[in-house]
Structure 1
């Protein structure tokens, strides 16, 4: 099913309101990027308190499809700053569907939760997402038919050092090649942007996402059996701007590994599967 056809069919599932804007050519603004390809901007849950921009980038050459999400939690600025950064890039191949500020009410308040609690605990594997916003996000993922999904966050503390903090880590799904590609992204960040005098800020490999928790990344693994990643950059003695830059580098590395290279980027394309 093509993208706009899916959007039209999605309206009924969301109580009559369209998933993205008013479906049709007037719902989007499109620009052509240098060297070919197109960038389209639409609105998720337009006309509601959750209305949020969705950017779709069609690169000039065929390749895989990625979904990139930021801003699940409103008090995690490096995640939504990095996702917004990705939305501004140009790519040589593939398609990207980017939701930079998924949880706009929480972002506007600077809080982790919106009125319905923790958005990233509303994605149970094997069942429907639990809130209107979570259902819209999940439908956006499904209709994109992605080859890989990135979920970009901020965190606190140091990994496995500070209690109740995930620290600076990349969490891959159990689906190959995610574990290996996560390690490549970790090594790239540690070798190129994390200073030698900040050993506690070196990225670590987090636990695998297997569908056992109600997080978006877990649902990607459990329901779609896809490579996916949660990227966490810490706020511990690190300013949000620097954390966002590091998160962007990890996102760029992961996308390049999956065959979606950024044009004039910092990371060489070293391969990646163009087909699932």
Structure 2
């Protein structure tokens, strides 16, 4: 897509968009226990534009469009769909601070901002990641507005950042340390390659249980955001799950950010000063 197309389409994306809003000076690079959203401080060299999803409501939450020029590939990165998954939205805050040298990234750090502020999984309308009906309109106003933003971006890849309590394949129903790709856009190859790269770069040999792996393919069988990306947009997407099992929040955030960086790189979106 052309950069700024999301903001230009604001009237249809979210009812209205606050363009050019002030970006706060508090950096999102640190973690800690405070669940309050921390506005990012983007690199001075990066072009940043801002808008809002559900403006004028208690669910109003900003998004940031970070990029290098008016053309090239586009990614959408979402954090905070579940408000108690701190590493996902803290990593998204950091991504909104990147200097992007190729392509652009639309970042929604606090998708379910009421749940984030309460440090709860669900918001007033229930589990946001069960509201993206396949083949039809999402079930709630917030889910609809988020989906309109994603679709308007015409993304090459969508990345949804989450945190689980346990490890996929080890701890029953928990799904941490796994990358769940769409059935579209070569995302299964992306998940395999990025898991291998991050394992090699940052996961200590002594932490073999924490090695990342590809999870099952998401093709549109459940009303999750990435399922809908696969079925309705036929686009690459990955649901990223870190575990909190024997991982401090700072490590969860760092590894989540690295995974997002490598996933976007595979679609031609490059960050200056890549960490790996």
| Category of TM-score, reference length = shorter chain | 0.7 to 0.9
TM-score scaled by length of structure 2? 0.87
Does the CA-based 8 Å contact 1:61-1:93 persist in structure 2? Answer: no
Deviation readout 1:185-218 (Å, 9 max, x if unpaired): 1011111111111111111110001011100000
Change (3 A) 1:197 1:33: closer
Match of 1:6 among 4, 9, 22: 9
Deviation readout 1:154-180 (Å, 9 max, x if unpaired): 111111111121121001111132111
Change (3 A) 1:32 1:117: closer
Does the CA-based 8 Å contact 2:135-2:232 persist in structure 1? Answer: yes
Q: Indicate yes or no: 2:129 matched with 1:136.
A: no
Q: RMSD in angstroms over aligned alpha carbons?
A: 2.0
Does the CA-based 8 Å contact 2:67-2:101 persist in structure 1? Answer: no
For 1:265 and 1:97, how far apart are their aligned partners in 2?
18
Q: Indicate yes or no: 2:233 matched with 1:224.
A: yes
2:26 maps to none
1:47 maps to 56
Mapping 1:159-174, distance limit 5 Å: 159-174=168-183
Q: Number of residue pairs matched? A: 256
Gaps of 5+ in 1: 12-16, 268-276
Moved more, 147-156 or 176-185: 176-185
For 1:3 and 1:228, how far apart are their aligned partners in 2?
19
For 2:245 and 2:218, how far apart are their aligned partners in 1?
24
Instruction: Tell me the SS of whatever aligns to 1:128.
Output: coil
Mapping 1:4-153, distance limit 5 Å: 4-10=7-13, 17-18=15-16, 20-21=17-18, 28-29=21-22, 38-60=47-69, 62-153=71-162
Change (3 A) 1:228 1:10: closer
Gaps of 5+ in 2: 24-40
2:212 maps to 203
Does the CA-based 8 Å contact 1:29-1:40 persist in structure 2? Answer: no
2:267 maps to 258
For 1:103 and 1:32, how far apart are their aligned partners in 2?
22
1:273 maps to none
